[in-house]
A = this chain, B = another copy of it.
């Protein structure tokens, strides 16, 4: 191999610049992966009914054939079962798939660890960077919490509150990641279970009123741009909810 170039662009080493490998992810494999993840995390709970193929096709904006192919994969993995005309998540997931032994408590712990890692600095940043209208909006939102709020209203409001504060931090990437965490939290069985515990209404009521108070403090720190107070309040709030959720799981 003659190296006859005289000028400019010798590559130095072997002359070959190396490229990233070309990825060939197929549509159905992506769908399979996404569904599998929802199943493993319990968002699609064992025994629950799967969305219909047509529905999935519409949501993914993809042909039903592709969804079916993905389903075949899950079927043969044993994580999805067909009964009659319906598809269900398998009652007992094969061990091959599920390799997290005592998932639930760990899962909740991880969720809140992640939330703490993100939420405290994000809220702190937001407290510094928010404009006046955002501050007013958050104060307003915090005022709408009552101790005796309907559960589903509380959930909606709770989520809106956190999202609103976060979006004042001015960093779209952080907001996106934080959104993913909130998504998993609000979709998780465990969070559902915590708030819709029929046996323990008084406990639920306490959680709601505590959260209302915490949001009030956060909103205050937010309105005044007090960063240390913001960090303290947020940390306490996340810690308290995490504690309640872990207790609920025992």
Contact = CB atoms under 8 A, between A and B. Distances in A.
A8 B43 CA distance: 11
14 contacts: A8-B192, A11-B187, A12-B186, A17-B43, A19-B34, A22-B60, A22-B61, A22-B62, A110-B173, A113-B171, A114-B171, A114-B177, A117-B117, A177-B180
A200 interface: no
A24 interface: yes
A198 B17 CA distance: 14
Contacts of A45: 8-9
A173 B186 CA distance: 15
Interface in A27-58: 27, 30-31, 34, 38, 43-45, 47-49, 51
A121 interface: yes
Interface string A90-129: 0000000000000000000011011001100110010000
A23 B22 contact: no
A23 B118 CA distance: 27
Interface string A1-25: 0010011111111001111111111
